[in-house]
Amino acid sequence: MASGRAKASPRFVSSSVLIQRDAVTPMLSISKSPPKKTPLSSEDCQDVTITVSSDSEGSFSHPSGRRLPLYAVCIGRSGDKGDSANIAIISRHPSFYPHLVSQLTTSIIRKHLSHLIDDDGVVERYLVPGVNAVNFVVTKCLGGGGLGSLRLDRQGKAFAQVILSSVEVMVPDDVPVERARL
């Protein structure tokens, strides 16, 4: 620890702008190789298909299995944007994703976060099959959000953990369940 006058430090400011995609040519350099132009293209990307549609909430059958807390088969991340929270629930194993889509609905999220969502708040669900995730946007749930909120979790960072620990799902016997490591 040093004492005395504070030293000057650089201040970085991020400024975002929208530009045409063709106005940018990304350069890629690996290790000590010279930079190489890498065009932006989605030409070789494959379409992603899943077996359960986004509007078929609750229609997937579960003939056998075990009832487990959601954290046994998923991980989660959450955060804020103003007075809205974004909650991503990601399946640990791709074979559980169709079951996640069918069981984790907007009504389940609303039920478990009802003590935080205003009466006119909305829960929207988005499927993210490329990473085996379901994303929820919950509006009017942060008491104004950021510094304007008097809530303990002003930025909704714990919302995913609330869902993971309070929701139970039916896990078929053929889906592997990994033990969490401490």
- Side-chain-side CA neighbours of 175 within 13 Å: the count stands at 24
Task: Starting at the earlier edge strand, list the strands of the sheet with 84-91.
Answer: 74-81, 84-91, 133-138, 123-128
Per the document, the length of the chain is 182
- What are the E-state strand segments in the chain? 27-28, 36-37, 66-69, 74-81, 84-91, 123-128, 133-138, 168-171
> For residue 9, what pLDDT is reported?
67
Contact by Cβ (8 Å): 96, 75: no
- In whole angstroms, what separates CA 58 from the centre of its chain? 20
Residues 119-158 have pLDDT tens digits of: 999 999 999 999 999 999 999 998 887 777 777 787 888 8
All residue ranges of the chain with pLDDT < 70 are 1-3, 6, 8-16, 41-64, 179-182
Q: For the chain, how many helices (H) and strands (E)?
A: 3, 8
pLDDT reported for residue 10: 67
Q: Please state the pTM of the whole predicted model.
A: 0.65
Strands 74-81 and 36-37: unpaired
Task: Tell which residue, 91, 168, 159, 75, has the closest CA to residue 127.
Answer: 91
pLDDT score of 55: 44
The reported pLDDT for the residue numbered 63 is 53
pLDDT at 96: 92
Res 56: pLDDT: 45
* Cβ 87 vs Cβ 136: under 8 Å: yes
Please name the amino acid found at residue 147: L
Round to whole Å and give the CA distance between 54 and 126. 8
